[in-house]
Structure 1
Amino acid sequence: MTEPRTAPHDEPRTAPHPLTRLLQRSTQRVRAFDRRRPLVWDLLLTGFFVVAALVDAAGGWRNTAPNTAVPGWLVFLLSTALSLPLLWRRRRPMAALTVMVAASLVSSWTGAMLQASLIQMIVLFSVAMWLPLKTLGGAGLMMTAPLVVGAFRYPENSWDQQIVPYVWAYALVALLGIAVRSRQDYTEALVERARQLEVERDQQAQLATNAERTRIAREMHDIIGHNLSVITTLADGGSYAAVKSPERAAQALTAIGTTSRKALTELRRLLDVLREETPGEAAALAPQPALTDLDQLIDGVRAAGLPVRSTVRGRPDSLPAGRQLTVYRVVQEALTNTLKHGGPEATAYVEVVYGDDGVRATVTDTGTGAGPIGSLGPSPGDAPGRGLTGMRERTALYDGTLEAGPLRQPAGGWQVRLHLPEERKESPQ
Structure 2
Amino acid sequence: MHRLYAWLRGRPMVVDGAWAVPVVFLSLVSHLGDDDWHQTGYAVITMLIGSLMMVRRRWPALAVTAGLGLGLLQVALAVPPQFSCIGYLVFTYTGAAFGAQWVSRLALTGGLLAGPLATLEEYRYSVDSAPPEHGVLQRIFVGALLSTPFILCWAWGRLTRVRRAYFTELEDRAERLERERDAQAKVAVAAERARIARELHDVVAHNVSVMIVQADGAAYVMDNSPAQAKEALGTIATTGRQALVEMRRLLGLLRTADTTDEYVPQPSVQELPELLEQVRTAGLPVEFTTSGTPRELPRGVELTVYRIVQEALTNVRKHGGPHVSARVAVDFGDRDLNVVIEDDGRGSTDEQLANGGADGQGHGLIGMRERIGMVSGSLDAGPRPGGGFRIRAVLPLKAAR
Name the TM-score, length of structure 1 as normaliser.
Answer: 0.70
Q: Which amino acid aligns with 1:402?
A: L
State the Cα RMSD in Å: 4.4
Q: Which amino acid aligns with 2:95?
A: V
Q: Deviation digits for residues 146-201 of structure 1, max 9, x if unmatched?
A: 43133234335943774355323323433443454345434433433332233233
- The answer for unaligned runs of 5 or more in structure 2 is 129-137, 350-357
Distance 2:364 2:248 in 1: 21
Q: Deviation digits for residues 267-324 of structure 1, max 9, x if unmatched?
A: 465567777599xx99977973222222222221111111222332223224334312
Q: 1:106 to 1:424 in 2, by over 3 A?
A: farther
1:104 to 27, 52, 71: 71
Q: Deviation digits for residues 96-137 of structure 1, max 9, x if unmatched?
A: 534443443343355322435443223222212223578645
Q: Which residue is 1:10 aligned to? A: none
User: Secondary structure at 2:321's aligned position in 1?
Assistant: coil
Q: 1:336 to 1:324 in 2, by over 3 A?
A: same
Higher helix share: 2
Matches within 5 A, 1:240-319: 240-267=220-247, 270=250, 288-319=266-297
Q: Deviation digits for residues 226-249 of structure 1, max 9, x if unmatched?
A: 112111111112212324443432
Q: Which amino acid aligns with 1:312?
A: T
Distance 1:83 1:277 in 2: 60
Kept after mapping to 1: 8 A contact 2:61/2:100: no
Q: Which residue is 2:203 aligned to? A: 223
Q: 1:33 to 1:142 in 2, by over 3 A?
A: closer
Q: Deviation digits for residues 400-422 of structure 1, max 9, x if unmatched?
A: 01123344643xx3222211122
Aligned-residue offset at 1:85: 6.0
Distance 1:113 1:405 in 2: 99
Matches within 5 A, 1:75-90: 89-90=56-57
- The answer for unaligned runs of 5 or more in structure 1 is 1-20, 63-67, 371-380
Q: Which residue is 1:149 aligned to? A: 117
Matches within 5 A, 1:127-166: 127-131=95-99, 136=104, 138-155=106-123, 158-159=138-139, 162-164=142-144, 166=146
Q: Which residue is 2:91 aligned to? A: 123
Q: Which residue is 1:368 aligned to? A: 347
User: Secondary structure at 1:154's aligned position in 2?
Assistant: helix
Q: Which amino acid aligns with 2:216?
A: D
Q: Deviation digits for residues 310-363 of structure 1, max 9, x if unmatched?
A: 332223224334312211210110001112233333322222222234111121
Kept after mapping to 2: 8 A contact 1:53/1:80: no
1:393 to 366, 370, 373: 370
Q: 1:325 to 1:84 in 2, by over 3 A?
A: closer
Q: Which amino acid aligns with 1:395?
A: I
Kept after mapping to 2: 8 A contact 1:57/1:75: no
Q: 1:331 to 1:134 in 2, by over 3 A?
A: same
Kept after mapping to 1: 8 A contact 2:92/2:154: yes
Distance 2:150 2:4 in 1: 27
Name the TM-score, length of structure 2 as normaliser.
Answer: 0.75
Q: 1:181 to 1:52 in 2, by over 3 A?
A: same
Q: Which residue is 2:80 aligned to? A: 113
Q: Which amino acid aligns with 2:10?
A: A
Kept after mapping to 2: 8 A contact 1:109/1:150: no
User: Secondary structure at 1:260's aligned position in 2?
Assistant: helix
Q: 1:60 to 1:339 in 2, by over 3 A?
A: farther
Kept after mapping to 1: 8 A contact 2:327/2:341: yes
Q: Which amino acid aligns with 1:230?
A: V
Distance 1:45 1:286 in 2: 64
Kept after mapping to 1: 8 A contact 2:8/2:15: no
Q: Greater shift after overlay, 202-211 or 178-187? A: 178-187
Kept after mapping to 1: 8 A contact 2:116/2:140: no
Q: 1:393 to 1:248 in 2, by over 3 A?
A: same
Q: Greater shift after overlay, 314-323 or 325-334? A: 314-323
Distance 1:277 1:208 in 2: 12
Q: Deviation digits for residues 375-399 of structure 1, max 9, x if unmatched?
A: xxxxxx9542523332222211211
Q: Deviation digits for residues 33-74 of structure 1, max 9, x if unmatched?
A: 34xxx6x999x7999799879969998778xxxxx9x99998
Q: Which residue is 1:7 aligned to? A: none
Q: Greater shift after overlay, 259-268 or 215-224? A: 259-268
Q: Which residue is 2:382 aligned to? A: 405
Q: Which amino acid aligns with 2:376?
A: D
Q: Which amino acid aligns with 1:327?
A: V
Q: 1:153 to 1:405 in 2, by over 3 A?
A: same
Q: Greater shift after overlay, 50-59 or 320-329? A: 50-59
How many residue pairs match? The answer is 378
Q: Which residue is 1:420 aligned to? A: 395
Kept after mapping to 2: 8 A contact 1:108/1:147: no
2:7 to 25, 29, 40: 29
